[in-house]
Structure formats: C-alpha cells, structure tokens
Amino acid sequence: MTVTHRTQSTRRRPRPGTAGPGQTGDTATRDRAVTSHVDPTTPGTRRPDGAWRDGDPVGRRQFAHIGDVELERGGVLPDVRIAYETWGRLNEAGDNVILVEHALTGDSHVIGEADDGHASPGWWNALIGPGGPVDPERWFVIASNVLGGCQGSTGPASPAPDGRPWGSRFPYVTVRDQVAVERRLLDGLGIRRLAAVVGGSMGGMRAVEWAVTHPDDVDRCIVLASTAYATADQIAWCQPQLLAIRNDPDFAGGDYYEGHTRPDTGLGLARRIAHITYRTETELGTRFGREPQLGEDPLRSGDRGRFAVESYLDHHAGKLARRFDANSYVVLTEAMNSHDVGRDRGGLEAALQRVRAECTIVSVDTDRLYPPRLSDELHAALPHSRRAHITSEFGHDGFLIEEDQVGRIVRDALERRLD
C-alpha cells in the first residue's frame, strides 16, 4: 500500500511549512500547492458533479493506495485509493487509535473550516480538539472518506482503468466491503488495534460491522442513531430517493460526467425526502408552521409562492448538489440497504455474540428513521453493552446537533475502564 502523507494539526487551519509523519517542512508546503481548481458553482466552469477531483486543492486529506479489492458480491475493484485525515499522534504502544466513521453525505473532514480543499466545514466540529471529548493530545484519530464516496476515495466519479470516470460501471459495494477497505488502510498505516470505533447513522453501521468482523481488533464500539441491519422502512424511504436520481434525464444512466448538465433535480429531490426523515414533525411545525417564505405567500404572490418549510428543503437540496455526487449518493444508499451484520453468520444474535468490544449504544428519542427500539435490540444482543440516550427535538440529526450530550457520552465511553 502506498501512502501519501499530508500535514495534520489540531488547529483549524494548518500552519505553512509544518510537517506530518514522514515529511519535511518543504514537502508539506509543496503538497498544499494549488495547481488547478474549478469552482462547480462558477458559471462557465460548472462541473457535472460535486465530487473532489485530482488537481483540486487537497486540503487536509492524505491518500492511501491499497490496491485491488475483492468485493463481497463478486468481482474486483482495481487500484483503490482512500482519502483520510488524522489528528494527534500514534503512541509507541499503538493502542490510542480512534476511528471516526461518517454518515451518508459526510467525508473525512470531521473538524475544520470550509476552504479551497473542503466544500463544507467539519460535520462533527465539537468532537475532536484539545480538552474535547476526543483529545488529540491523548488519542490518534483517523477518519476516511468511505469507499464509493466522492471526496477523494475511489468512487463512481474516479477514473476507471480506461481513464474515464466509472459512472454506471461502478460496482455494487456493501458495508462489509467498506470496512474491509478501512482494515486495509489501517494495516498500511501499521495499525492493528482500535481503542474505539465511533460512528452515527451510516457510520454507526460500519462501527457495528467493525466490531463483528474484527472482534479481536476493537476495544470499544460507540454507535449513535444506527442499527444492526437496514429495516424495511429504511429501505422503503431510500427507494423514492434512488428513483428520483435515476429518473432525472440529466442522470444519463449514471454516465453524466463528460456532459454539460448535472442531475441536480434528482439529487435535490432525494435530499428533500431524506431530510424530512432526519427531522421531526414537531421541529418543523415549531420552526416554520404554516408561514410563507418572505415575499412568496402562495395565496397572495403573483407567481406560485412557497411556504417557509419548502424554502428550507430547497436550501438543503441546493447545498448538497454543490458538494456531492449523485452517483455516490446512489452507491452509498445501496450500501446502507445491504447492511445486515447477521447475513451469512447465523443471524443477528449469533453475529453479535462474536463482539468482544465494550459497546455504547446511543439513540435519539425522537428519531423516526432509526427509532430507539433498534438500539434496544442491538444493546440486548451484545455481550458487553451500555445504553445511552440523546434527548432532542431534532430527530435523527440529533446525533450531530446535540453536541454537549454526544460529547459527554463519547467522553464517558472512552474513559470507562475495560473489563
């Protein structure tokens, strides 16, 4: 495996000339140089997707080339590359590693500002930092962009062996494939054991899969707002999202990268559907009610107006289209649908009995997509598990929004002595 190191720091912005492991200061500075960057929102230079591409500023990313990967469903994905970021330093014993797993539209940029290399700020900014729940003075933290993603790791927007983007040819990948790739990444970095794996939503799926697939390699497993398997209800919510993207004429069957249009309409519809499941009826009612968007009252404006909640959904649809790739949304959604730790392992309970990690299973009380009963079921089937709860009006997104509660839960789990 070939690893390209990047400078990492606990500061929000890297200092010029500082070096990461295996780098000189000059190398670190040279790696940050911007060669060519196309802003996908600039007229005349609009890309057919929101993916990160070679030649764009790398930001805080590091890269690992892990070679060919055999997939659970069959076939081989060649020359896989994984983008990742790190904070802190690996100790001599190699026992201070925490793997942070991102959700569907996240990436390796857990903390930090938005800048030329990162289209959006860190998605869990309160988690990592000096004195924080995960202190980089003590822990060596790793977060990668998942296989099939669009922020530096091999995915549909990446070049296939013929040099053209994979597009519709990108294979079906599962959560197990994604964890297998992460295992290869850590092997290449000389890391065998995880002090903890932490993830929410889709990231929680990978955290559970880590604990089941590699029971001897995980000390703690912290799962937030997630499940041991995708339910029929979750798969049902995903279907109209997938259809919205695939039925957008600009999607072109997944081969839109070399064209001049992008499937923003389909991706935006998918995001709107998903976002409703991430929040609650109470929050939307309290926040927006039946108020019209300013100057757009549907009953009074000359043109067809919008209610405020419609404007809110439109805003989130547009934001995602600017920073994400529709094909990756499809690939990762299908990977989530594939999730079932009991598959080919004798069922759910038999699979979870393999886990040796000290687990902390966390639900959000108002989560209608990953309801607390799924966390109860997971907790009951694990050999060593503690149950925790987040109280929130925000529903599923509470695992990202309720920073104080999440921070206390994670800190407590990391401080707890292992049996």
* Catalytic annotation, residues: 201, 367, 396
Helix residue spans in 123-231 (DSSP H) = 175-188, 202-213
Contacts made by residues 183-188, CB under 8 angstroms, sequence distance 24+: 183/213, 183/214, 184/1, 184/66, 184/67, 184/69, 185/1, 185/64, 185/66, 185/82, 185/84, 185/142, 185/144, 186/97, 186/99, 186/142, 187/1, 188/1, 188/3, 188/64, 188/66
Count of CB atoms situated within 10 Å of the CB of 18:
14
Residues 197/210, Cβ–Cβ less than 8 Å = yes
User: Can you state the angle between helices 326-338 and 202-213, rounded to 10 degrees?
Assistant: 50
Residue 73: half-sphere exposure toward Cβ, Cα within 13 Å: 13
Residue 309: half-sphere exposure toward Cβ, Cα within 13 Å: 16
Going 154 to 156 to 160 to 165, the CA torsion angle's sign is: negative
**Pick from 330, 321, 323, 67: which is nearest to 173 by CA?**
330
Contacts made by residues 125-128, CB under 8 angstroms, sequence distance 24+: 126/403, 126/404, 126/406, 126/407, 127/100, 127/403, 127/406, 127/407, 127/410, 128/10, 128/87, 128/100
Residue 251: half-sphere exposure toward Cβ, Cα within 13 Å: 25
Distance of CA 188 to the CA centre of its chain: 21
Give the angle subtended at the CA of 359 by the CAs of 63 and 212, to the nearest 5°. Answer: 60
Q: Which helix (H) or strand (E) holds 299?
A: none
Strand partners, 292: 307
Q: What is the CA radius of gyration of the chain?
A: 21
